[in-house]
Amino acid sequence: LRTTLLFLSPKDLYTAPDSCKGRCEEPYSQEDECHCNAECESYRDCCEDYYRHCRDEGFSSSRDAITDEDLLHVSEQLYKADHNKARPTDIAINPQYQASPDETGDQEDRSPRPLYKYVNEELFAKPTYASFIKLLDNYQRATGREEDVTAEELREQDNFLKEVMKTELMKKLFAFLHQKNRYGSEQEFVADLKEMWFGLYSRGDGEQDSSGFEHVFSGRARTGRTGGARQRRAGGLTPGSRLCLGEVKKGKVSGFHNWIRFYLLEKQGIVNYFSHNFNGPWDTYPDVLGLQFSWDGFYKEVGSAFIGSSPEFEFGLYTLCFIARPGRACHLSLGGYSLSIQTYSWTKSTYGDGKKYIATAYVISS
């Protein structure tokens, strides 16, 4: 008998710690960087290639997997259910100068007039708008300062969640996630929304100074250095490019992607609109704009924002993508047009049985 020796290279024997290749349904281990078992979608800690290698197994069964086709279908449902969005006569904007990719970092004000010429503020009397606006003044602008959450602010969080859950849009979102076995009851869903969006974690020096809601909807002035502008410049909006930036260089704005927040601060003279580098294809609301501006002296190089959408529309879309595609591009369809949302989990702390908070969520090009 002839003995044949088979020599395997280290590459053949090695399973990458950030990949699900060969790891589907592997038992959970807290030492793993990411996970590939049926529970990872629930805890939002799957490896990025989980869907490619383990999709047949899906969430708990193949019918529970959220497919790309599911996302296109449910996002159109949410788009049609946004009954509180602005009408064409409710908002008039003046985009003025369109910046080229090389100009977005110049910090030059090329638009002498405000972005918003008119907003029908009767919109803000609607319950979801009114409860949303009450939340905007609850946060410190700079990182590294402990948030003092009062009993009144906790009631405001609960009231916002109560109001959005009354809408057809959020009921459709829950029905979809319930069908996909992500939540057993609406009560469970709302409790998780409160944790993932409003739970505090530290972006500074150990202080509980931030939350997903604050970062996405309210914004921050960064006090630390996190990378070069050249590395993070979005440039032109080619497929896959970023419409907005997250945490950037010292002295620049982090987060802040909400049109209502922008309008209210621009009206007060605190925000100064500089230019835009992208205007979405929609001829009604919600639209999408990529813009440059300064906020009380801090600069935002490329900030994406839905224009004219209801608070529950943004809140619902970002939630959908965070649950379905955490850390990945989430491809949606709105009124027949393609749009993608990128979300990221906060990895340094968790809640519940290891679930992740929202770190950020923003619009990207298709």
| Residue 195 near residue 44 (C-beta atoms within 8 A) | no
CA distance 190 to 208: 22
Q: Which residues are catalytic?
A: 215, 257, 300
Distance CA 311, CA 360 (A): 16
CB count in 10 Å sphere of residue 14: 9
Maximum distance among all Cα pairs of the chain, rounded to whole angstroms: 89
CA distance 92 to 1: 85
Structure tokens at 209: 């100074």
Query: Is residue 342 exposed (0-12), middle (13-18) or buried (19+ Cβ within 10 Å)?
Result: buried
With both helix axes pointing from N to C terminus, report the angle between 68-80 and 168-179 in degrees, rounded to the nearest 10.
Answer: 160
CA distance 314 to 288: 11
Give yes or no for a contact between 251 and 142, defined as CB atoms under 8 angstroms apart. no
